[in-house]
Structure 1
Amino acid sequence: MGNLTSQSEFILLGLSDLGYSQIPVFLLIFLFNVATLAVNLLIISLVISDSHLHTPMYFFLGNLSVLDIFNSSISVLHVYFDIFTGNRLISYPFCISQVFFFSWFCSTECFILDIMSYDRYVAICHPLHYTTMINIPLCVKVAFLFWVLSFACCLLHTLYLLRLAFPDPTTIPSLFCELYELLQLSSSDTYLNYFLIYFQAACFSVPGVLVTFLSYVYIFKTILKITMKDGRGKAYSTCTSHLTVVFIFYGALFFNYCQPKTKIFLAGRWLAVFYTVVTPLLNPIIYSLRNRDLMGALQKTLSRIVPTP
């Protein structure tokens, strides 16, 4: 068994065991990645350039787009390297860095989705007090706090990961290096690592899920009290997009990280593809399809670029 003084590389399986399906799957991932980059950059540019979108909801949506770009890009970096070079080896420092950055951005996205639930709660249940309860300066401070808090938590996980030893060689049956995957493959005692995960989940993740759950309980109770059909439909449309994104995001994470330990990693790998490649593209599409403000901002931008005769 190797230790960290001799462990300098891992074998990252990626797509190399898919045989003839490797190239089609890679092209599909590449197309999703390019589309994710384009759509999320478009949303970020619209939120920045259009003054009508300078509201708390679109500020958090811009944060979500930034996180989706980072997550999708980081998770497929080595897939590109493997396809073009045929080298499945990934250096230990790069693997640990990938664990840290993916965990950081994924944790921050959880926080952002939670605060967006509270934003929808205030907008629907306390519309007259919305501007006093939630404003851009407050949102900037909250978002900054979440980014820093996630950074500190994930840095702690990464530092505890550095104390572990791994078999030499170690094959990682995934697209990228994940904390949970490395803990399963470690030859050391991982009790402290799992304790830290569960402790932080109890302190931050569980309260965040409760905020989302309770926010929507009060939202739906308020919507049911609305007598006007148009008003009820408008209230539903303002929260269904976010609720759909929450279900997709947490559902994929739950099925990936709460499944029992197994030597059959193929299902987990496809789940990883879903929440790192597909979900970052679905998020902006779901938010945009039923959002008149974003569609209006896009039309105005296109009219400036391509003026009608």
Structure 2
Amino acid sequence: MSTVSASESPVTVVGLGLMGHALAAAFVAKGHPTTVWNRSAGKADDLVAAGATLADSVQAAVEASPLVVVCVSDYDAVHALLDPVGPALAGRTLVNLTTASSSQARDTAEWAAKLDATYLDGAILALPQGIGTDEATLLYAGPKAAFEEHQATLAVLGEAATVYLDEDHGLSALYDMAVLTIMWGVLNSFLHAAALLGTANVKATTFAGMAATAINVTADYVAAYAPQIDAGEYPATDATVNVHVGGMQHLLEESKALGVNAELPRFFLELAGRAVAGGHAEDSYAALIKQFRAPSA
């Protein structure tokens, strides 16, 4: 049995973009023997000064540690780097924190299995500056035994939340996409709201606090509607879809009248109108899940 403690466990990081650099820095800061590689070696200068080892090739980087973390631009880049050194991955655990689709994650898991490598697919829910702090959440999917073996090492990347999801390698990517759609939905709505208020010379900074309150209130709707979605029953305990439609019509008219882009409220109204046409006029807003489950035309 190995006598190497969790804080001494070696790790390799391939890719030193903003996020990859932050990952490597977190490992170094916690005392892990950290090997790094990047196409532009200069990006590793400060890491080397802090104690990391710069590998002179991808193969040397992979061979340096039993745990290899890769974080690059996309999965094409992952394979461009790792396909040529595939045999070196045998017997090692590869953790891929590159953003991609669930199908790409599952395909890469099959690729890794053919190389006799253990594969964990991950997703990072944080900005680079949040890595290694309580602000970071990282999700992992793949063999649970592999996650548990390296959990203490991976935990330094997100001190408060290192989350194991399931054996299905695609779940981390799918969660990532789900979180991103919420993020962009909220941000686009905030920008539309700021544009509306801007017509009255209200600064976005003035509105920001109230916008945050609205986002927090919306979180309460999420908690209330999730059980309805799972049950497939949508009792209107707050407001019916018809009531929402009335508000959406006002939002659309106001946007047009003020010369603000009306595409977002028009989209809201179109979805709700389909729900009404589908017999959900008196149901809760959660009934619109059916519109999102249906493939787009």
Do both proteins adopt the same fold according to a TM-score greater than 0.5, normalized to the shorter chain?
no
Q: Is the radius of gyration larger for structure 1 or structure 2?
A: 2
Greater fraction helix: 1
Q: Which structure would you say has the larger RCO, counting Cα contacts within 8 Å and 6 or more residues apart? A: 1
In the superposition, the TM-score normalised over structure 2's length comes to 0.29
Greater fraction strand: 2
